[in-house]
Structure 1
Amino acid sequence: MLAQDKQENAMIHGIHRYPPMERVIYGIPLAEALADEVNRLDARAVYVMASGTLDRETDVVESVRRVLGNRLAGVCARIGSHTPRTDVVAAANEARAAKADLLLTVGGGSVTDAAKMVGLCLGNDVTQAAQLDAFRAVITPDGKTERPPVKPPAVRSVDVPTTLSAGEFTAMAGCTDTTRHVKESFAHPLMMPQAVILDPAVTVHTPEWLFLSTGIRAVDHAVEDICSVNPTPFSDGMSLQALRLLAAGLPAVKADPADLEARLNCQLGAWMSIMGSQNGVAKGASHGIGHVLGGTAGVPHGYTSCIMLPHVLRFNESVNATRQAWVSEALGHANESAGDAVAALIASLNLPATLRDVGVKLEQLDAIATGSMHDRWVHTNPRKIDGPPAVRALLEVAW
């Protein structure tokens, strides 16, 4: 009997925690939903953080300006990929000067994380990038996460995501120290937005590669939660439904980018995929290695999941084959291995499958392997990863 099978024969027990998010609005046009939220929260000075591309090339940010009117406290459309510290602190200083009482994000994961970090900066008197050293998580050599005390954010957010990474549903943020080229983790329960607005019409402006690859990131959330060392009944159910929605929705969007119903199904799947993260379900090496590929090698997170998840599933199959079979079935490939089922979905979307495809050089693998051992989720991988050589072997297979 497999180790995880034995675990599942034990009495189920645990605690389900409801996150400090007030509501999720889905399928309602952005202008209507935003007006309702601003009135509900009685916001008087809304600081908008938007994707630069949305601001420059679409009318989405202008429509937000019209809805907010004299409640607009400022617009920041200068957040770089992987949420650089310097960009975060500059935005926080602007929001502080504007006396913002609500943050509004319109964009992808980097903008979402930036708003969380701005809230942290405002609540902890951070005015310079170096001050964030005092609030970052530290991963000890044995894989434990040590988080320093953090005061709650002074200002919270309403988020309008344009990608499927689902970071808007968590209380954690990744923020990159561009001096050391390391992406670090920050957290406080109230860094989670007060509300999320899911409007599929806003996502039509998102580049196809970004929408689809972040959809695979959501698949990664669901898969690694199902296969986790500490799954919960609630996250199991939500993750399986997430996979069904994403497995149907992503190819439908690929076939017809104007299919708003398929886009909304993808958004709902991404939302469901993150429920385990809200309750402490540990991820595995696909996420852990992916963090380092992002912060060290500049690989977009959606692409890290495309490349690493099939290989991590194959690596782990000897310890969680039963749960991997659930993944295959939810993806509509009950007679295939989970690794092959995920790889087939990725291939059908014409997304990259190797590290070479995304510009990672062979000489970078040692640094990535070493850095990965400082990520908490490498240490909670279902099959033990006992050092950089094991990560290096996975990277070589993926290269």
Structure 2
Amino acid sequence: MTAHMTPQPPPVTAQEQDDDLGRVPFVYQNALPGRVVFAMPAGRAVLAEAERCGAGRVLVASGRSLARMAGGPLQQVERELGKRHVGTIATMRGHTPREDVLEIAEAMRRARADLLVAVGGGSVIDGCKAALMCQWMDVRDVAAVDALLDATAISPPASPVRMVSVSTTLSGAEFTAVAGVTELATKAKQIFRHELLVARTAILDPAATRMTPIDLLLSTGMRSVDHAVEAFCSPSANPVTDLHALQGWRLLHDGLRAIRSHPDRGGPRARSQLGMWQAISALSTGAGSGASHGIGYAIGATFDVAHGHTSCAMLPAVLRWNASVNAARQQQLSAAVGRPDVPAAMLIAELVASLGLPGRLRDLGIGRGDFREIARRSLGYAPVLANPRPIAREADVLEILELAL
């Protein structure tokens, strides 16, 4: 009801856009993979990349579900690598626990791997990125991982082992130089950073997503929508990140619906992969995320909720809460998909419903009794503190959680 009654600003004119373009200086930080291989069969692409970089001992890392899928992308990669394949570790769990990261790093040491290939979604890819750091710095103990939180303390060897990724979801983790890892003892999501964590090559094969459960694929697509929308609304957005964000939003808005309607067609999957790529590029090159991401970290790590699902519930609520400070910006998101008169929060909620995904916190088993703990934890995450409408106290987070309930 509130979203229906929110007055919409007049459309932004071309002159206003031009005036805004030269208003604020910015730095475009290119932190993306050196190469993206698109629409080539994943196994063949991995072999070509191993040959290109001279890797002769390739370790493959994945999760338990992909290991059980006979004939899936994991097995295709293993088969194509042939003698270069020195082992597979498929033990990564959701939310990337430290313990699983250390297992990958130890497997790399045992195999004397000179290339790591991540096959899977965001948890696997983030786990491989963090494992690289542990291998570079010879970290072998759960407590010792704390030292890696300081990026200035990380000194990779002269020729560090790097990662190639094969994405089976739409999370976009391979396009960032950060890794989100969960400390199980505290149920806290921690962020590790280094410029060499980003995949040296990101392989986007639409066919590699075909065995991914459709709800999982679509929910990770909503995580990418969250990337695009929060990047566009970020106070640190600039004209170039805007191009990435708006294109990602358009492609995902249409592509995800088409996947739901036509799951057997490859075109919508390819379009959504392109959208994911553009959406995360906005975050990787200068724009920031906001409260939907930060509160989602708190919910996901504490209550074991997939981040795609936290985005479904939190993004519309955060947009509604932020509308008092960036309604004009949000209106541009609506205009980008041809519906300038509909509030962006409503558009996102409609998209979530059309995909058959849970759109409220109560659908995720989260109730008011959990709100205080979520609010307390949320204030410890940087994206919450970088939200367009400042969040300074737990009461602010509680207001947003009520909107999401």
Is the TM-score greater than 0.5? yes
Q: Could you tell me how far 1:20 is from its partner in structure 2?
A: 5.6
Q: How far apart are 1:362 and its partner, in Å?
A: 2.9
Deviation per residue, 1:118-164 (Å, 9 max, x gap): 10001111011111112226xxxxxxxxx552223732100011111
The aligned runs of 1:300-379 (5 Å cut-off) are: 300-379=306-385
- How far apart in 2 are the matches of 1:288 and 1:241? 23
Tell whether the 8 Å contact from 1:325 to 1:337 is kept in structure 2 after alignment. yes
Once residues 323 and 156 of structure 2 are traced to their aligned partners in structure 1, the CA distance between those partners, rounded to angstroms, is: 40
Residue identity matched to 2:277: W
Say if 2:50 is the partner of 1:48.
no
Q: Give the corresponding residue for 2:3.
A: none
Match of 2:175 in 1: 169
Q: Which residue of 1 aligns with 2:28?
A: 16
Q: Distance in 1 between matches of 2:320 and 2:48?
A: 47
Structure 2 unaligned residues grouped into runs of 5+: 1-8
With over 3 angstroms needed to count, the CA separation of the structure-2 counterparts of 1:20 and 1:286, relative to structure 1, is: closer
For the residue of structure 1 that corresponds to 2:91, the secondary structure is coil
Aligned residues: 389
Q: Does 1:275 align with 2:281?
A: yes
d(CA) in 1 for partners of 2:225 and 2:121?
A: 17
1:149 maps to amino acid: A
Report the counterpart of residue 95 of structure 2 in structure 1: 82
Counterpart secondary structure, 2:397: helix
CA contact (8 A) 2:28 2:286 kept: no
CA distance in 2, matches of 1:277, 1:126: 29
Q: CA deviation at 1:262?
A: 0.6
Residue 244 (str. 1) matches residue 256 (str. 2):
no
Within 5 A, what are the aligned runs for 1:59-138? 59-60=71-72, 61-136=74-149
* 1:219 and 1:242 in contact (8 A); partners too: yes
**Which of residues 150, 153, 160 is equivalent to 1:149?**
153
1:32 is aligned, of 19, 44, 53, to: 44
Q: Deviations over 1:259-289 (max 9, x none)?
A: 1011000000000001122223121100111
Deviations 1:37-67, CA, capped at 9 Å, x for gaps: 1110111111101132111023122221111
Q: Residues of 1 paired with 2:28 and 2:64: CA distance?
A: 38
Cα distance in 2 for residues equivalent to 1:18 and 1:375: 24
Asked if 2 retains the 8 angstrom alpha-carbon contact of 1:217 and 1:305, the reply is yes
Runs of 4+ that moved beyond 6 A: 4-7
Preserved CA contact (<8 Å) 2:258 2:268: yes
What secondary structure, in the 3-state scheme, does the structure 1 residue paired with 2:186 have? coil
Distance in 2 separating the partners of 1:398 and 1:87: 32
Code of the residue aligned with 1:366 in structure 2: it is R
TM-score (norm 1): 0.93
Letter in 2 for 1:387: R
Q: TM-score, normalized by length of structure 2? A: 0.92
Q: Is the 8 A contact 2:27 2:286 kept in 1?
A: no
Provide the alpha-carbon RMSD of the alignment: 1.9
Residues 1:225 and 2:223 aligned together: no
Does the aligned pair in 2 maintain the 1:134–1:148 contact within 8 Å? no
Residue type of the alignment partner of 1:396: E
CA distance in 2, matches of 1:123, 1:398: 42
Whether 1:235 and 2:247 are equivalent positions in the alignment is no
What's the CA shift string for 1:221-276, capped at 9, x where partnerless?
Answer: 11111111011111101111111111111111101111101100000000000112
User: Which amino acid letter does the alignment assign opposite residue 335 of structure 2?
Assistant: E
**Among the aligned pairs, what percent are the same residue?**
41
The reply to whether residue 185 of structure 1 matches residue 198 of structure 2 is: no
Q: 93-102 or 15-24, which moves further after superposition?
A: 15-24
